[in-house]
Structure formats: C-alpha cells, structure tokens
Structure 1
Amino acid sequence: MSGMDLGLIVYIVSLIGGFFVSYKYGSFMIRKTGLFVPQTFISCAMVIAIDVVAIIAWGYFTWGTSEFVFFLGIALGFGILGISLLTLITILLIKRKKLLHTFNENGINNM
C-alpha cells in the first residue's frame, strides 16, 4: 500500500467520521437541552468544520502530485460534505420527536 492509498483512506475516514461525531453530539445535546434548531445548527457547523479541515489537509497532501488527484479529491470532499449535511439534517428531523420526548421525560424527573 502506497502513501497515496493510505492518505486517501485517512481522508475518506475523516470525512465520514466528521458526520458520525456531529450526529452523536447533536442527538445527545438535543436530548439533554431540548433545543432542536440551535443544536442542529451546531452539528452542521461541526460537519462543515471537520470536513473543510480534511479538504485543506488533502490539498496540502496532494499539492505536488497530480492535478487530477488534487481536484478529484477536493470534489470528493465537497460531495461527501454535502451528502453528510443533508443526511444529518434528515436524520435529526426524523428523530426529532423521539429526542424531544426523551428530554421531556428526563427534564421532569430532574427538576
């Protein structure tokens, strides 16, 4: 396995890992605070931040290799970023009722 293959694997894992980290944060904080829109916004900002850092790192990693690999990797990064954002918002909207129900149950018992 060459260095480019390993770099591509780390790149894709970091892009997809950003989605899972922000989903876990968003679902946990919605259950804890009961604030859906602000926590969804923060989760989306986390996905954008993690993925943009990964895209910039990919640019630095592939700058001297080939233009094809450079631009294709950046296009892949932005494609995964868009898909991650749409998936995150969709999943949180679908689970909104359940997450807020958990907050209401826990909020009454904790007060």
Structure 2
Amino acid sequence: MSGIDIAMVFYVIFMIGSATGCIFYGSFMMRETGSFLQQMLIAGTINLSLGIFAILGWFLFSWGVNEFMLNVGLSIGAGLLVIGETVLFVLLFLKRKQWLQQDGNGV
C-alpha cells in the first residue's frame, strides 16, 4: 500500500470512529443527565467539528499530491459527514425513550 492509500484508510476510519464515539457520548450523557435535546446538539456539534477537522486535514494532505485525490477525498469526507450526522440524530432520536427511562427520568 502506498502512503495515499494508508492516509485514505485512516481518514475513513477517523470519520466513522468520530460518529461512533459521538453516538456513545450522546447515549451515555442522556442516561446520566436525562436531557435529550442538549446532549443531542452537543454530540452533533462534536461530530461536525471532528468531521470538519478531518476534511481540513485531508485537504492539506492531498493538496500537493494529486487533484483527483483531493476531489475524491473531499467528496468521501462530505458524504461520511452527512451520513454520520444523520445516523447520529436518527439513532439518538429513536432510542431516546429507552435511554431516558433507564435512569427513571422518563419522557
């Protein structure tokens, strides 16, 4: 594998890992605090920030390498960011009653 392939793998893993980590953060904090909207917005903001930093890092990495890799990486990053945010919000929204009732705070 070349350096570009390894960078792309780390890029995609980081994007997926940030969405997964934000899902765990949102579910844990909903159970602990009992607030839904605040924790959903915080988890979404963290995921958005990490995604933007990853896209910026990819932009800086691939700027001097290849224009095609720049465009492909930015497209993949934007797609993963949108998919990650959507999955985050949908999963947190669908599981909110279950997570909030575990602590007795119930909605």
TM-score (norm 1): 0.91
User: Which has the higher Rg, Structure 1 or Structure 2?
Assistant: 1
Q: Does 1:83 align with 2:88?
A: no
Deviations 1:49-73 (A, max 9, x none): 1111111110111011111110110
SS at match of 1:104: coil
Q: Does 1:36 align with 2:42?
A: no
Distance in 1, Cα, partners of 2:5 & 2:77: 16
Q: Which runs of 4+ in 1 moved over 2 A?
A: none
TM-score (norm 2): 0.95
SS at match of 1:95: helix
Deviations 1:64-105 (A, max 9, x none): 111111011011101100011111111011101101101216
Instruction: Say what the alpha-carbon RMSD is for the aligned residues.
Output: 0.9
71-80 vs 31-40, which moves further = 71-80
- % of aligned pairs identical? 35
Unaligned runs of 5+ in 1: 106-111
Amino acid at match of 2:3: G
Q: Does 1:60 align with 2:88?
A: no
Distance in 2, Cα, partners of 1:41 & 1:79: 20
Q: How many residues align?
A: 105
